[in-house]
């Protein structure tokens, strides 16, 4: 068991700015995520959520400020970060089955020119069993439902054996039953992995998360599970009820 | 019919057709699944500058087109990755600049340019033995590269961002793949010519996609389709006395269209 008193900073961002051409995409971001947290970040489309994840992943170099993952620079910390990218329909015509998609997650653990090892296959099999997709291993990814596909991408992120898991809009296009199943997988992972999930849909950030932040260029985060209504309004620039579809209490007040 | 096989030119043509089909079957699969047909067309047409340079310097144009097409591949790749210039704009510019250079070099060369049509539209019946050796070396390089980098090429083709996050040298691998495309174009110049290479890169690979969901099987099928169509085209052009490059392309296109009525299930759903 890990020492609960000795929490590490999984993600530490200090006064970070990122510009897209000359327009700031992220302003003055400060974020401190303790190890073992499940953080949900909500914000409108175009609010910089994907950009923030890409900065943490080291895909985008911030123009100002400092970003650390378990004390390391993002590019050096990559081997401990798992990433589930935004669901994209454009990849579905690619000739690849479930097994090979998950196998791809092991590519950072093998060297160039080398074939995958029996150990790699074992890890992939376990991950597919964990997300209950092993029996679909020979299916083409286009033959799966949105929820099944999302679980495959979770499995791909898991075989990288991450300490930090980043999820970009994982609930997009998934029905409510599937969402619940999905959260149960994350719930099970929470004990070992720090999770950051971003979504534009407030109702998608459910009771399962520990902390909630609000992002629209600026990050509104108080290290709590509750969001102040004024932060939410400030972030979304419009009355909250319109976005929350009448169920804002799921986020605004803890159960 | 078999007696034509005893002619050396026919034997060379068959070997050249086979070598071209292997290269374009394997690399064509990447061109099709990565949707970089336009980039490949750009590299092919820009390579015309190399043909012109060969005439100007008085050397075998195949040897001057080699560095020229590799350079075009690297320029297109780097401009796409490192600048904000729209991809299709950059390709369009390079496409015509390369061709303009070729025309300029040929204009500067005294006399007229023999065999120019061969490089533009191919003539499989006149492939010299030396060019076949060059094609063989390139084929071996392509097979070895794809064998060794199969999982890396698959990763950057399917999900470049994930490959980047996994720590793969994505830019180097992408540029290397573009160089392999440039080399494939060299292999095909003698067979179908610069202008027609796109058909050989796309049709066999795209047809194979209808029969399998696996990248390696697609490659094998594409090689088989390419070989069959090339041989049919070759014999048709011989017996009908029509240009071979164009006949091969039209045979392929006919084969491609024929498969539509017989297509069992449509995989392009979902």
Structure tokens at B128: 């010299």
Q: Is A30 helix (H, G, I), strand (E, B) or coil?
A: strand
Shortest Cα distance, chain B CAs vs residue A93, angstroms: 7
The answer to whether B131 and B119 are in contact (CB under 8 A) is no
Task: Go through B233-269 and write b for each residue having 16 or more CB atoms within 10 A of its CB, e for each that does not.
Answer: bbbebbeeeebbbbbbbbbbeebbeeeeeeeeeebee
How far apart CA A211 and CA A24 sit, in angstroms, is 26
pLDDT digits (tens, 9 = 90+) for A133-163: 999 999 999 998 888 888 899 899 999 989 9
**Is A119 inside a domain boundary?**
no
**Is A39 inside a domain boundary?**
yes
Structure tokens at A166: 């980043």
Contact of A101 with chain B, judged by CB distance below 8 Å, is answered with: yes
Beta-carbon contacts below 8 Å between A and B: 74
- Name the nearest CA neighbour of B177 among B155, B197, B196, B193: B155
- If you measure CA to CA, which chain A residue comes closest to B168? A108
Q: What is the pLDDT of residue A246?
A: 38
- If you measure CA to CA, which chain A residue comes closest to B32? A94
Q: Which domains does chain B have, with CATH numbers?
A: 2-254 (1.10.3470.10)
Give the number of C-alpha atoms closer than 13 A to the C-alpha of residue B45, restricted to the C-beta side: 18
How far apart CA A187 and CA A167 sit, in angstroms, is 14
- Name the nearest CA neighbour of A155 among A176, A121, A126: A126
- Name the nearest CA neighbour of B33 among B194, B189, B160, B135: B160
Judged on CB neighbours under 10 Å (0-12, 13-18, 19+), A41 is buried
pLDDT digits (tens, 9 = 90+) for B73-98: 999 999 999 988 888 999 999 999 99
- Name the nearest CA neighbour of B177 among B154, B204, B200, B210: B154
Q: What is the pLDDT of residue B264?
A: 55
Number of other residues whose CB lies within 10 A of the CB of residue A125: 16
pLDDT digits (tens, 9 = 90+) for B141-159: 999 999 999 999 999 999 9
pTM assigned to the model? 0.87
Q: Which residues contact B256 (CB under 8 A, 6 or more apart)?
A: B203, B206, B207
Q: What is the pLDDT of residue B260?
A: 81
How far apart CA A155 and CA A175 sit, in angstroms, is 19
**Is A156 inside a domain boundary?**
no
How far apart CA B102 and CA B57 sit, in angstroms, is 12
Rounded to 5°, angle at Cα A115 from B176 and B134: 40
**From first to last of its 255 residues, what are the pLDDT tens digits of chain A?**
444 445 588 888 988 988 888 888 888 888 988 888 899 888 888 888 889 999 999 888 899 999 999 888 888 878 888 888 887 655 788 999 999 999 999 998 888 788 899 999 999 999 999 888 999 999 999 998 888 888 899 899 999 989 999 998 887 767 777 777 778 888 888 888 999 998 877 666 667 788 888 888 888 887 777 666 666 666 666 444 434 433 444 444 433
Give the ipTM of the model, two decimals please: 0.85
Of A59, A103, A142, the CB nearest to B165: A59
- If you measure CA to CA, which chain A residue comes closest to B35? A94
The DSSP code sequence of A145-174 is: -HHHHHHHHHHHHHTT--SEEEEESTTTT-
**Is A51 inside a domain boundary?**
yes
CATH number of the domain residue A243 falls in? 3.40.50.300
Residues of A in contact with B267 (CB under 8 A): 140, 142
Q: What is the pLDDT of residue A249?
A: 40
Sign of the C-alpha dihedral computed for residues A121, A127, A130 and A134 taken in this order: negative
Interchain contact, B154 vs A100, CB within 8 Å: yes
Q: What is the pLDDT of residue B75?
A: 94
pLDDT digits (tens, 9 = 90+) for B186-213: 999 888 998 889 999 999 999 999 999 8
Bigger pLDDT: A227 vs B36: B36
How far apart CA B129 and CA B134 sit, in angstroms, is 9
How far apart CA A46 and CA B31 sit, in angstroms, is 32
* pLDDT tier for residue B269 given thresholds of 50, 70 and 90: very low
The answer to whether A162 and A186 are in contact (CB under 8 A) is no
Rounded to 5°, angle at Cα A187 from A141 and A127: 40
CA distances from A189 to A3, A31, A63, A183, B91 (A): 18, 22, 33, 10, 46
Interchain contact, B270 vs A92, CB within 8 Å: yes
**Is A40 inside a domain boundary?**
yes
- If you measure CA to CA, which chain A residue comes closest to B162? A83
Of A91, A95, A104, the CB nearest to B218: A95
CA distances from B109 to B45, B49, B53, B59, B115 (A): 20, 13, 9, 12, 14
The answer to whether A55 and A74 are in contact (CB under 8 A) is yes
Find the mean pLDDT for residues B25-36: 96
**Is A123 inside a domain boundary?**
no
Interchain contact, A104 vs B209, CB within 8 Å: no
Question: What region, left, alpha or beta, does residue A208 occupy, with left being phi > 0 and alpha being psi -120 to 50 degrees?
Answer: alpha
Considering only A47-61, B99-113, B233-247, B251-265, which range has the smallest mean pLDDT?
Answer: B251-265
Structure tokens at A131: 């997300």
Interchain contact, B166 vs A92, CB within 8 Å: no
Q: What is the pLDDT of residue A1?
A: 42
Rounded to 5°, angle at Cα A39 from A38 and A45: 140
Q: Which domain holds residue A170?
A: 9-86+162-252
**Is A138 inside a domain boundary?**
no
Q: Domains in chain A: how many in total?
A: 1
The answer to whether B270 and A92 are in contact (CB under 8 A) is yes
**Is A230 inside a domain boundary?**
yes
């Amino acid at each position: 068991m890990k020492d609960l008193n000795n929490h590490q900073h999984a993600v530490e961002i200090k006064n970070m700015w990122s510009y897209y051409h000359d327009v700031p995409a992220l302003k003055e971001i400060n974020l401190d995520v303790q190890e073992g947290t499940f953080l949900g970040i909500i914000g409108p489309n175009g609010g910089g959520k994907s950009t923030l994840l890409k900065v943490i992943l080291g895909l985008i170099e911030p123009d100002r400020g400092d970003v650390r993952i378990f004390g390391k620079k993002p590019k050096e910390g990559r081997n401990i970060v798992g990433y589930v990218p935004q669901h994209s329909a454009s990849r579905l015509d690619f000739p690849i089955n479930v097994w090979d998609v998950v196998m791809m997650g092991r590519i950072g653990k093998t060297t160039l020119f080398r074939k995958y090892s029996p150990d790699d296959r074992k890890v992939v099999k376990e991950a597919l069993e964990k997300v209950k997709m092993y029996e679909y291993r020979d299916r083409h990814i286009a033959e799966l439902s949105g929820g099944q596909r999302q679980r495959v991408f979770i499995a791909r992120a898991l075989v990288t054996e991450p300490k930090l898991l980043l999820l970009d809009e994982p609930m997009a296009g998934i029905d409510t039953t599937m969402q619940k199943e999905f959260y149960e997988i994350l719930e099970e992972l929470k004990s070992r992995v720090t999770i950051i999930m971003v979504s534009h849909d407030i109702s998608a950030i459910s009771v399962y998360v520990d902390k909630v932040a609000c992002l629209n260029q600026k990050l509104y985060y108080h290290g709590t599970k509750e969001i102040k209504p004024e932060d939410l309004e400030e972030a979304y620039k419009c009355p909250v009820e319109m976005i929350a579809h009448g169920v804002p209490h799921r986020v605004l007040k803890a159960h | 019919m078999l007696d034509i096989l005893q002619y050396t030119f026919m034997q060379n043509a068959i070997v050249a057709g086979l070598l071209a089909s292997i290269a374009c079957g394997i690399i064509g699969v990447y061109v099709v699944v990565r949707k970089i047909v336009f980039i490949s067309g750009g590299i092919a047409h820009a390579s015309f500058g190399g043909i012109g340079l060969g005439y100007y310097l008085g050397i075998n144009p195949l040897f001057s087109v080699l560095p020229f097409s590799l350079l075009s591949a690297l320029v297109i790749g780097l401009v796409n990755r490192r600048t904000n210039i729209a991809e299709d704009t950059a390709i369009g510019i390079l496409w015509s600049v390369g061709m303009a250079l070729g025309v300029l070099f040929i204009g500067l060369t005294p006399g007229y340019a023999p065999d120019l049509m061969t490089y533009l539209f191919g003539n499989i019946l006149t492939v010299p033995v030396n060019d076949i050796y060059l094609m063989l070396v390139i084929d071996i390089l392509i097979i070895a590269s794809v064998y060794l980098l199969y999982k890396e090429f698959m990763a950057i083709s399917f999900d470049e961002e994930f490959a980047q996050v996994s720590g793969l040298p994505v830019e180097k691998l992408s540029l290397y793949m573009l160089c392999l495309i440039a080399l494939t174009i060299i292999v095909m110049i003698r067979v179908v010519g610069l202008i027609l290479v796109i058909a050989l890169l796309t049709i066999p690979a795209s047809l194979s996609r209808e029969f399998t969901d696996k990248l390696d099987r697609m490659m094998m099928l594409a090689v088989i389709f390419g070989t069959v169509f090339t041989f049919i085209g070759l014999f048709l052009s011989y017996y009908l006395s029509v240009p071979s490059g164009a006949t091969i392309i039209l045979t392929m296109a006919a084969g491609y269209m024929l498969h539509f009525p017989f297509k069992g299930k449509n995989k392009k759903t979902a």
